């Protein structure tokens, strides 16, 4: 019995160490060649139900959004902010599938995993909404994206059970942000002069965006 237990622990260790690694780049947005950028904006987030999953932490999601905002949507020159970019995750669902395969893996001491059979799969589906507001809190534009992600827990070709949930959430958010990016790029010519005309966000004001006024 002890020999069987040692074999089991050894196989679990192999799964943990043989998985694909996912480092800090998980929370960085890919660079995009946007022709039109907005002036610098203050980042505000409300991740809603995504905060309730076991995959991510609020500071990690904020880091990903800021990476997208500063890297692809806005200019980064100067300390002044000409409004707010508020990201809201209005819907989010995380499912763990292939649990029958997990039972099979446990019954066979993870032998199928050596041949690429996954332990389980995390699937994240979310809807993200980006609001662009001027310094006074007037809503200038609202854009929405749908993100779907699928990440496997497996040896060699998958991720660990510790990494997979967070990576699934991050990938889904990236997909939604990419859809939003295209919409903002199209609307930038209209948004930019209105943001500049609205003035800058005063340093003494809190980082949270004010109540949204009626869209003009």
Q: For the whole model, what pTM was predicted?
A: 0.73
Domain-embedded: residue 94: yes
Domain-embedded: residue 147: yes
Assess contact for 140 and 132: CB atoms under 8 A: yes
Domain-embedded: residue 203: no
Domain-embedded: residue 30: no
DSSP state of 36: -
What is the number of structural domains in the chain? Answer: 1
Q: How far apart are CA 35 and CA 38, in angstroms?
A: 10
Domain-embedded: residue 63: yes
pLDDT in tens, 143-195: 999 999 888 776 544 566 677 788 888 889 999 999 999 999 999 999 999 99
**Residue 47's domain spans which residues?**
2-17+38-197
* CATH number of the domain encompassing residue 47: 3.40.50
Nearest-CA neighbor of 80 among 135, 139, 132, 141?
Answer: 135
Domain-embedded: residue 48: yes
């Amino acid at each position: 019995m002890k020999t069987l237990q040692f074999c089991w622990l050894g196989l679990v260790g192999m799964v943990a160490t043989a998985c694909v690694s996912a480092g800090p780049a998980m929370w960085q947005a890919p660079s995009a060649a946007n022709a039109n950028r907005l002036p610098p904006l203050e980042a505000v987030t409300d991740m809603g139900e995504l905060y309730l999953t076991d995959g991510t932490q609020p500071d990690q999601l904020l880091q990903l959004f800021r990476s997208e905002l500063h890297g692809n949507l806005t200019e980064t020159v100067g300390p002044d902010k000409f409004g707010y970019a508020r990201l809201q995750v209005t819907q989010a669902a995380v499912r763990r599938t292939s649990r029958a395969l997990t039972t099979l893996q446990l019954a066979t001491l993870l032998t199928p995993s050596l041949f690429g059979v996954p332990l389980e799969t995390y699937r994240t589906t979310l809807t993200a909404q980006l609001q662009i507001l001027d310094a006074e809190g007037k809503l200038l534009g609202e854009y929405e994206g749908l993100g779907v992600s699928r990440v496997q827990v497996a040896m060699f070709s998958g991720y660990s059970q510790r990494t997979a949930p967070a990576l699934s959430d991050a990938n889904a958010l990236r997909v939604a942000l990419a859809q939003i990016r295209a919409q903002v790029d199209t609307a930038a010519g209209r948004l930019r002069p209105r943001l500049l005309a609205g003035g800058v966000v005063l340093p003494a004001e809190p980082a949270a965006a004010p109540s949204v006024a009626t869209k003009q």
